């Protein structure tokens, strides 16, 4: 009997963790929809894929824009028939992070992208998963969403705490409907978001922290679990860093 090809939507897929996750899921034979704000970056990710189960769908989209998200999910469902996996990975941070310099505009940007963006995606995808009583939704949060971080900043930490709460409540409400939800809390990862740091991150430090492939491996583990098993929360951090 033929095996049904699974479909995943990965947001923030143009670089960093999202690109790493896309490559890992592609290697599992999962059909992909790639979302991000920069079409050229999405093309760069697509070029890395085998696309053995059909071409990846590129979906330029700002997750903070609910209309764009709804249209994107509607298009994916129309083309692929179903969405089995949702990876809420799109996120952002700002350079000026301390409360004395954090502007209302930067606060709004982080809440809109990191928290409201995740909600927009969940809200758009959940109805089709409920009908099938099956699905996996993964929030790529941050250790700053587990322990508020001055390094990550007040606004970023607040947005990531909210994203984590969304994922945890989702698991509690929808588990009985066959829908699994996991919040992943990565420590420091070598991605372009480090370029927004107030103090530059040096090459030596970048080499010993997590790489996108490490977070992608955690996602792969969750995807390969039997549907009867759910991991509500998963922390992954650089070995060289303390967790106290």
Q: pLDDT (tens digit, 9 = 90+) per residue, 186-221?
A: 999 999 989 888 888 999 999 999 999 999 999 999
Beta bridge partners of 138: 87, 182
- Residue ranges of E strands in 12-99: 31-36, 57-60, 85-88
Q: Is 123 exposed, middle or buried (0-12, 13-18, 19+ CB in 10 A)?
A: middle
Instruction: List the one residue out of 192, 107, 97, 189 whose CA is nearest residue 152.
Output: 97
- The answer to whether the CB of 118 falls within 8 A of the CB of 88 is yes
pLDDT of residue 195: 87
The residues carrying an active-site annotation are 156
Residue 3, pLDDT score: 55
Burial class (CB within 10 angstroms; exposed 0-12, middle 13-18, buried 19+) of 216: buried
Collect the ranges in the chain with pLDDT lower than 50.
1-2
Tell me the H-state helices in 111-211. Answer: 117-132, 154-174, 203-208
CA distance readout (Å), 24 to 64, 206, 214, 223: 26, 21, 10, 10
Beta strands in the chain (DSSP E): 7-11, 31-36, 57-60, 85-88, 135-140, 179-186, 233-236
Collapsing DSSP states into helix, strand and coil, what is residue 189?
Answer: strand
pLDDT of amino acid 161: 98
* Tokens of residue 220, six digits: 């792969």
For 186, the token pair is 């990565």
Phi-psi region of 98 (alpha: psi -120 to 50; beta: other; left: phi over 0): beta
Q: Shortest CA distance to 220 belongs to which of 204, 196, 199, 236?
A: 236
**Beta strand pairing call for 57-60 and 85-88:** unpaired
Tokens 């409360």 belong to which residue? Answer: 99
Which residues make beta-bridge pairs with 185? 235
pLDDT value of position 2: 45
Distance CA 70, CA 99 (A): 34
The pLDDT assigned to 1 comes to: 36
């Amino acid at each position: 009997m033929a095996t049904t090809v699974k479909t995943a939507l990965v947001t923030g897929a143009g670089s960093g963790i999202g690109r790493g996750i896309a490559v890992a899921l592609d290697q599992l034979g999962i059909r992909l929809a790639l979302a991000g704000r920069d079409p050229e970056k999405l093309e760069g990710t697509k070029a890395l894929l085998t696309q053995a189960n059909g071409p990846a769908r590129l979906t330029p989209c700002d997750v903070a824009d609910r209309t764009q998200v709804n249209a994107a999910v509607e298009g994916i469902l129309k083309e692929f028939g179903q969405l089995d996996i949702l990876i809420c990975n799109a996120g952002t941070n700002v350079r000026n992070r301390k409360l004395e310099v954090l502007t209302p505009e930067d606060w709004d940007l982080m809440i809109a992208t990191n928290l409201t963006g995740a909600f927009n995606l969940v809200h758009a995808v959940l109805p089709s998963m409920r009908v099938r009583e099956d699905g996996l939704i993964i929030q790529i949060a941050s250790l700053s969403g587990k322990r508020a971080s001055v390094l990550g900043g007040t606004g970023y930490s607040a947005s990531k705490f909210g994203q984590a709460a969304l994922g945890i409540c989702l698991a509690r409400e929808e588990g009985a409907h066959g829908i699994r939800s996991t919040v992943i809390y990565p420590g420091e990862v070598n991605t372009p978001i480090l370029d927004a740091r107030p103090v530059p991150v040096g090459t030596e430090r970048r080499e010993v922290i997590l790489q996108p492939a490490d977070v992608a491996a955690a996602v792969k583990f969750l995807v390969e679990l039997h549907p009867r098993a759910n991991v509500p929360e998963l922390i992954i951090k650089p070995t060289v860093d303390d967790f106290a």
